[in-house]
């Protein structure tokens, strides 16, 4: 199972960078670029394009597939041929995107062009000539491909070599542990955990939750010296299901005792992902949505009227960055609304959507949006559901907490910190 290569396109469909494709004709990557650009041009919305596209071969006898994802303003393409699982390609694409963020922070076409030498080195190191993922651990990559800094650029322009290495006595793969550097030293030994959970739910028009699920991830920032061996215990680990882990985690220990035993990578990494299942969860007992939406939509000739009331169910927490969105249907030409509490609204002519934005929703408060919309169609057909996105800082739906953190292999006592953050993406039908 192998990947044919990787292509990065800007928002205009032009190539920013691509791997070599040494084993394929020169026209092979162009076929996939044209297939994606044509699919985007023929689609009414870019989200309607399938993530896997059929690409006919040059001689119509060797077809292939184009797996693509959009991250920011860039599109990442992974051509595959033969018996290859598309999920294999998507996993590599996401890994490569994470590596770019690790190296450059904000990733854009301009950033990649300014650091094209680093980008092409990363392409060569992460994907070998046979199309198999090679080195994808950021800690191992930093020893091979130096991150772009001002000092490295100045030394490179000046033609000075040998001064920009990560340390005087380090060399690639010096550590016996692939994901951790050798000889790491810090004055303050500390490790931080961010627990981010996302609530996905569908609510019927009568306000009853039809289905809901909470997906979470634990991200860590490790600044520990030496080679620490950690044992992390959660307060309610039995509610975590469908878990996936960083390669550093010992799976047998989690399966037996529901504790995380691992030697952490240095720096930032994703420790685990999970699905939260309440202890009393059943078809009638879902994770509750933290607000109530009372929408009234009346469709008339060439338009309609809208009235939406949003009330918070929370008693102590404040929701932030709340977006209520309604697709007004094909032919929508505009909207005129009035929002309470100095909230803002907008009509996006590109997506034909009405967006109501609330910076904060305080506990037990209600907010109202009233207005109308116009359409060139005689009988408009707006979406039958609102999409509501929100954020709740310092909160977790699962109430997950660190019960204990033990360290062996080193003599110091580390400082540990944990913070939670909750996100929501709700479909509320009317």
With CA atoms as reference, report the closest residue to 286 among 204, 229, 368, 381. 204
Single pTM value for the model = 0.79
Q: Which tens digit of pLDDT belongs to each residue from 122-160?
A: 999 999 888 889 888 887 888 788 887 755 666 666 665
With CA atoms as reference, report the closest residue to 141 among 161, 118, 115. 118
36 band by pLDDT with thresholds 50, 70 and 90 = very high
- How far, in Å, CA of 212 to CA of 287, rounded? 6
Average pLDDT, rounded, for the chain: 89
What confidence score (pLDDT) does residue 167 get?
44
Beta strand ranges found along 4-73 (DSSP E):
7-9, 15-18, 52-55, 64-71
Helices (H) and strands (E) in the chain, counts: 7, 21
With CA atoms as reference, report the closest residue to 67 among 39, 36, 44. 36
Q: Which tens digit of pLDDT belongs to each residue from 323-339?
A: 999 999 999 999 999 99
Mean pLDDT calculated for residue range 238-266: 94
What confidence score (pLDDT) does residue 173 get?
59
The token pair that represents 277 in the structure block: 């299942």
Contacts of 100 (CB under 8 A, 6+ apart): 107, 112, 119, 122
């Amino acid at each position: 199972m192998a990947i044919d290569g990787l292509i990065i396109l800007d928002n205009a469909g032009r190539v920013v960078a691509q791997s070599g494709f040494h084993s394929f004709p020169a026209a092979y990557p162009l076929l996939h670029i044209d297939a994606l650009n044509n699919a985007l041009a023929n689609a009414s919305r870019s989200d309607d394009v399938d993530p896997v596209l059929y690409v006919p071969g040059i001689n119509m006898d060797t077809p292939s597939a184009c797996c693509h994802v959009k991250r920011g303003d860039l599109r990442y393409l992974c051509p595959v041929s033969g018996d290859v699982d598309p999920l294999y390609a998507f996993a590599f694409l996401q890994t490569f995107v994470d590596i770019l963020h690790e190296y450059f922070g904000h990733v854009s076409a301009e950033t990649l062009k300014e650091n094209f030498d680093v980008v092409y080195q990363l392409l060569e190191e992460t994907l070998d000539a046979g199309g198999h993922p090679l080195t994808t651990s950021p800690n191992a990559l930093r020893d091979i491909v130096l991150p772009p800094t001002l000092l490295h650029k100045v030394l490179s322009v000046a033609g000075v070599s040998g001064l920009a290495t990560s340390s005087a006595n380090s060399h690639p793969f010096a550590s016996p542990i692939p994901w951790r550097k050798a000889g790491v030293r810090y004055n303050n030994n500390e490790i931080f955990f961010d627990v981010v959970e996302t609530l996905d739910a569908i609510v019927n028009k009568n306000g009853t939750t039809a289905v809901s699920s909470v997906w979470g991830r634990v991200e860590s920032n490790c600044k520990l010296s030496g080679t620490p061996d950690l044992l992390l215990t959660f307060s309610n680990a039995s509610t975590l299901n469908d878990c996936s882990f960083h390669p550093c985690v010992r799976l047998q220990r989690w399966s037996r005792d529901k504790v995380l035993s691992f030697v952490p990578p240095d720096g930032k990494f994703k420790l685990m992902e999970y699905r939260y299942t309440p202890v009393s969860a059943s078809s009638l007992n879902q994770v509750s949505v933290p607000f109530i939406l009372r929408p009234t939509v009346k469709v008339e000739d060439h338009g309609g009227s809208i009235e939406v009331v949003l009330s918070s169910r929370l008693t102590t927490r404040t929701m932030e960055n709340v977006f209520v969105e309604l697709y007004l249907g094909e032919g929508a030409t505009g909207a005129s609304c009035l929002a309470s509490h100095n909230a803002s609204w907008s009509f996006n002519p590109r997506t034909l959507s009405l967006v109501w934005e609330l910076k904060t929703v305080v506990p037990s408060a209600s907010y109202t949006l009233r207005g109308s919309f116009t359409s060139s169609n005689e009988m408009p057909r707006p979406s039958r559901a609102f999409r509501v996105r929100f954020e709740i800082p310092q909160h977790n739906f699962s109430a997950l907490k660190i019960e204990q953190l033990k360290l062996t292999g080193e003599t110091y006592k580390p400082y540990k910190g944990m913070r939670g953050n909750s996100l929501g993406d709700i479909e509320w039908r009317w």
